[in-house]
Structure 1
Amino acid sequence: MKKVEAIIRQEKLEILKAAIDHEVEVNGMTVSQVLGCGLQKGQKTHVRGQEVITTLLPKVSVSFILADEDVERVIDLILDTCQSEECGTGKIFVYPIEEVIRIRTRESGKAALQ
């Protein structure tokens, strides 16, 4: 099992959710509002005529716990949905998951994901 976590632009979330619903069968996802910066080092805005540099920009973190055979399909879908040429588009992280346990039934492993 793997955890796939994507940090994406906020405006891409609804598009990604719709694509996941129609193209890949996943049993759940976790979405969090996050702040961060990468290579773009923030962005310049003007407030009341003064330049303000915002170093932490709002992003969305979307996480999936997946069977190994589903990882590449979900990564490809995230790339197809969220990719752009602009700086600050996001990142995808893949982590190994040792165990998953459903608290209600005590099921573990792949059965806990369904």
Structure 2
Amino acid sequence: MIRLRGWDPVLGMNLRNARISEQNPSSAIRLVNDKYATKQALAAVGAPTSPTVGLLRSRREIASLDWAGLPDAWALKPNQSLGGNGILLSFGRRRNTWYSSSGKRIARETVTDHLRRILDGEFSPRPNDW
């Protein structure tokens, strides 16, 4: 643990992770590492969660995605990833184009490619993320 003058102690990532695994059962760690299972557990006890627009488990499901039915703002997340890796965010849509928070255009092809990368496990510590 690092102490900086005038600051509270700073906990480094390695020590933080060690403490998490020391103080929590492995079943709890597995649960929070699974975004969808965590969301279901939170909803089951009445905790507010954002709506799930869709859950894709295979590349084949990308082809049947209802593009017109997607909301203007959304978060596309791998079910299992570390440190926010693999998250793609849309903050709005004009006509048929989504835009990032910086105003950059997010083409449908970009979303499709990102979905494929997620399903291929590119952002996951484990293969075959869904």
Scaled to the shorter chain, the TM-score interval is under 0.3
Which protein has the bigger helix share?
A: 2
TM-score by length of 1: 0.24
TM-score by length of 2: 0.22
